[in-house]
């Protein structure tokens, strides 16, 4: 495991962009995350693209998760998030960007997503972490999940993410890649910032490996890079 502790969110985002850029230039398949943490990274990648330093035209992206039951055009959907923070701002071919569809036949969608990940193995997976240690939307549980599946969101996740849902009811379910699929990425970058993540990041990186803290499985990955600010990484 490599750990980069940067002074603040801006520098951690710049560092993350420098690590991710070569994967983009070489046309790899990149697993993408949402949440507030990677927004700075996406901003830095947009800057590099506008400066003609990186070219998104050959990459494929596979997002971790999506809420169940949101309207296709909902501003709270992860498709909308990805379009507005990255895809609409760079020269990516949107036909090469994949996000689970949280509407319609969910069993079929889970199968479609599993096949997609098999067809396009993930070279680099970008992750954030929830306050309860979730990655993607894999909530604490009795076992590590394997494939794409539908989850009931926990109270901790509902409380943390409800800030994004003003005037719209927050969904109680989501569709997410499984832990084994995340783990199968050749390389993983875990991004973390802010004091409020310090305890969970210590548990995830230094505590026992347990599905009660889903991110703890990352301790076993052979190419994990953690990039964070001093507040989040103060205990590791």
Query: Where does this chain bind ligand GLP (CB under 6 A)?
Result: 33-37, 64-65, 128-130, 136-137, 157, 161
Distances (CA, A) of 11 to 20, 192, 222: 14, 12, 25
Question: CB-hemisphere CA count at 13 Å for 7?
Answer: 2
Positions annotated as catalytic residues are 65, 132, 134, 139
Q: Edge-to-edge strand order for the sheet containing 149-152? A: 65-67, 173-176, 149-152
Nearest approach, Cβ of residue 34 and ligand GLP (Å): 5
Closer of 68 and 129 to ligand GLP (Cβ): 129
Nearest approach, Cβ of residue 212 and ligand GLP (Å): 17
- Closest C-alpha among 205, 212, 199, 209 to residue 227: 205
Nearest approach, Cβ of residue 236 and ligand GLP (Å): 17
Nearest approach, Cβ of residue 153 and ligand GLP (Å): 8
Closer of 56 and 67 to ligand GLP (Cβ): 67
Torsion angle, CA of 6/12/18/21, rounded to 10 degrees?
150
Nearest-angstrom CA–CA distance, 236 and 185: 24
Q: Name the residue with tokens 């993408």.
A: 32
Closer of 35 and 53 to ligand GLP (Cβ): 35
Closer of 29 and 176 to ligand GLP (Cβ): 176
């Amino acid at each position: 495991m490599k750990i980069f502790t940067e002074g603040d969110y801006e520098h951690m985002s710049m560092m993350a962009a420098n690590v991710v850029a070569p994967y983009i230039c070489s046309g790899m398949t990149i697993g993408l995350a949402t949440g507030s943490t990677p927004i700075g990274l996406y901003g830095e990648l947009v800057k590099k693209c506008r400066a003609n330093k990186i070219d998104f035209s050959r990459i494929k992206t596979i997002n971790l998760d999506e809420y169940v039951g949101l309207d296709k055009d909902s501003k709270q959907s992860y498709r909308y998030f990805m379009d507005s923070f990255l895809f609409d701002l760079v020269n990516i071919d949107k036909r090469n960007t994949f996000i689970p569809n949280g509407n319609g036949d969910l069993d079929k969608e889970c199968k479609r997503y599993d096949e997609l990940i098999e067809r396009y193995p993930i070279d680099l997976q970008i992750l954030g972490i929830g306050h309860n240690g979730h990655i993607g939307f894999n909530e604490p549980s009795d076992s590590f999940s394997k494939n794409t599946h539908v989850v009931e969101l926990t109270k901790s996740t509902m409380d943390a993410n409800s800030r994004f849902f003003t005037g719209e009811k927050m969904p109680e379910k989501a569709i997410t890649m499984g832990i084994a699929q995340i783990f199968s990425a050749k390389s993983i970058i875990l991004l973390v910032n802010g004091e409020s993540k310090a305890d969970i990041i210590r548990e995830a990186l230094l505590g026992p490996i347990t599905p009660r803290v889903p991110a703890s499985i990352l301790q076993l990955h052979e190419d994990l890079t953690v990039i964070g600010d001093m507040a989040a990484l103060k205990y590791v």
